[in-house]
């Protein structure tokens, strides 16, 4: 009877105990390793994610600074609006506002791109957590199945099947271990679920933040268009009603003369430096067209009837119509003797080629060089815009020889067939 009883209880004991111990050992090993893997993955991403978040935060700070700068410029514009004697100052402030607005737009685009990177990392992290949850759940199911196979579905049945008191004690201690393990598995599953929920909420908020930035970008672009239109309208206004804007006309004329004398003065200084060997540079070969591939001449050098005033006027350069921010290349190598903003030329750059020739590039949206800098032929010196007394995006390309303007197109005989005059 006793042997029979022992046989009956020992056999299942060995089976389920062996199986369970094997499964537990295996599972515990995996469970112990999982957090290590997770930590490795998280730390690998953490640096980049933190960096991205930091970049987004500093981008938002920059946006706040730009926004207050733009507001200040607008209040300065408002203060002199309608004052015809301050038309040029209004245009200068509008140009400054446009530049700040463009900086704002570039900043917003960077923030949006950083959000893209951050969102994709968060999404990867979430997918990893979901995969981990599936693995953990699979392990849990395996564990339940192995219990079922061992015929020990409930802990109570394990305990009730004890052969004697000592066996019962063994079983109690074993059940305790198993329950502890089960709890750890359940806890891990709950923790993973919580992490997934967190990541999901995190992702949703990042997406919402990014959408807000995208909406802002649309608004900023519209504001930029409004500012550009206001700037063009203002120039058309003071050009068409010259007698009403006498102050502006006088200012422009005085500025033109001042620029002319400065260019000549710097030309003499540079020629002395070249003669004494203090400076040397390579002008390159021949003349390179400043806007490669763009040959639409919207206003030629020479006498013309002003399109707005209808009055005869001398045009000191050739206007090349081109999209905003098209790169402008130096026609020849030389030294930058001027890189500044003027009411007439807007943002302009003068390259002195050292042999009596200078080239002047006007109405740039932005300048890429500074005074005193040596540039090589073809180097980008700025970008097309409509700053200063201009009513549309174009490059005013001017060539002077010993102070006198000349028609720049004559240096490009090979392009003669490509120029389109409109």
The least distance separating Zn ion from the CB of residue 316, rounded to whole angstroms, comes to: 7
Angstrom distance (rounded) from CA 365 to CA 346:
8
Nearest approach, Cβ of residue 363 and Zn ion (Å): 8
Q: How far is the CB of 263 from Zn ion (least distance, A)?
A: 16
Q: How far is the CB of 256 from Zn ion (least distance, A)?
A: 12
For residues 265 and 130, give the distance between their C-alpha atoms in angstroms, rounded to a whole number. Answer: 72
Residue nearest to Zn ion (CB): 396
Number of neighbours of residue 257 by Cβ within 10 angstroms: 10
Q: Which is nearer to Zn ion, 118 or 299 (CB)?
A: 299
106-112 long-range contacts, CB within 8 A, separation 24+ = 107/59, 107/62, 107/63, 107/66, 108/59, 108/63, 108/213, 108/216, 108/217, 108/220, 109/217, 110/55, 110/59, 111/56, 111/59, 111/60, 111/63, 111/213, 112/210, 112/213, 112/214, 112/217
Cα gap 288→376, rounded to integer Å: 11
To the nearest whole angstrom, how small is the minimum distance from the Cβ of residue 367 to Zn ion? 17
Nearest Cα residue to 388 out of 97, 88, 82: 88
End-to-end CA distance of the chain: 117
Give Rg (Cα) of the chain: 39
| Cβ partners under 8 Å of residue 350, min gap 6 | 263, 266, 336, 337, 338, 339, 358, 359, 360, 361
Minimum distance, C-beta of residue 329 to Zn ion, in the bound complex (Å): 18
> Shortest gap between Cβ of 315 and Zn ion (angstroms)?
6
Binding site for Zn ion (CB under 5 A): 317, 319, 396
- By beta-carbon proximity to Zn ion, the closer residue of 60 and 306 is 306
Please count the other Cβ atoms lying within 10 Å of the Cβ belonging to residue 225. 11
In the bound state with Zn ion, the residue whose beta carbon lies nearer, of 150 and 231, is 231
Strand partners, 409: none
CB of 331 to Zn ion, least distance (A): 16
- Nearest partner of 206 among 111, 105, 118, 107, judged by Cα: 118
């Amino acid at each position: 009877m006793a042997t029979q009883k022992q046989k009956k209880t020992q056999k299942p004991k060995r089976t389920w105990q062996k199986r369970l111990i094997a499964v537990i050992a295996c599972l515990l090993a995996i469970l112990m390793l999982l957090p290590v893997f997770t930590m490795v993955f998280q730390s690998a991403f953490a640096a980049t994610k933190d960096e991205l978040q930091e970049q987004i935060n500093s981008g938002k700070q920059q946006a706040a600074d730009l926004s207050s700068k733009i507001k200040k410029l607008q209040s300065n514009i408002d203060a002199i609006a309608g004052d015809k004697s301050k038309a040029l100052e209004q245009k200068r402030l509008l140009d400054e506002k446009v530049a700040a607005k463009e900086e704002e737009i570039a900043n917003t685009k960077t923030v949006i791109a950083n959000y893209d990177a951050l969102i994709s990392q968060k999404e990867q992290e979430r997918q990893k957590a979901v995969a981990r949850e599936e693995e953990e759940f699979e392990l849990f199911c395996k564990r339940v199945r192995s219990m079922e196979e061992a015929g020990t579905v409930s802990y109570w049945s394990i305990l009730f099947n004890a052969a004697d008191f000592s066996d019962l004690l063994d079983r109690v201690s074993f059940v305790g271990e198993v329950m502890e393990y089960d709890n750890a598995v359940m806890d891990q599953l709950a923790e993973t679920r919580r992490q997934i929920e967190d990541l999901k909420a995190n992702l949703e908020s990042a997406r919402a933040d990014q959408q807000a930035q995208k909406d802002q970008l649309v608004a900023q672009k519209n504001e930029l268009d409004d500012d550009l239109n206001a700037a063009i309208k203002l120039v058309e206004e003071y050009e068409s009603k010259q007698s009403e804007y006498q102050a502006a006309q006088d200012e422009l004329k005085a500025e033109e003369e001042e620029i002319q004398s400065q260019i000549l003065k710097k030309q003499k200084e540079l020629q002395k430096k070249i003669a004494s060997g203090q400076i040397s540079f390579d002008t390159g070969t021949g003349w390179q067209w400043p806007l490669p591939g763009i040959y639409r001449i919207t206003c030629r050098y020479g006498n013309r009837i002003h399109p707005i005033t209808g009055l005869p006027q001398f045009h000191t350069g050739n206007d090349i119509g081109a999209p905003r921010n098209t790169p402008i290349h130096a026609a020849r190598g030389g030294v930058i003797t001027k890189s500044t903003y003027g009411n007439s030329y807007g943002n302009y750059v003068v390259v002195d080629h050292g042999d009596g020739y200078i080239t002047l590039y006007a109405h740039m949206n932005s300048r890429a060089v500074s005074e005193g800098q040596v540039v090589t032929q073809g180097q980008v010196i700025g970008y097309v815009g409509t700053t200063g007394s201009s009513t549309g995006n174009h490059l005013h390309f001017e060539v002077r020889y010993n102070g006198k303007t000349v028609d720049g197109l004559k240096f490009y005989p090979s392009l003669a067939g490509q120029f389109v005059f409109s």
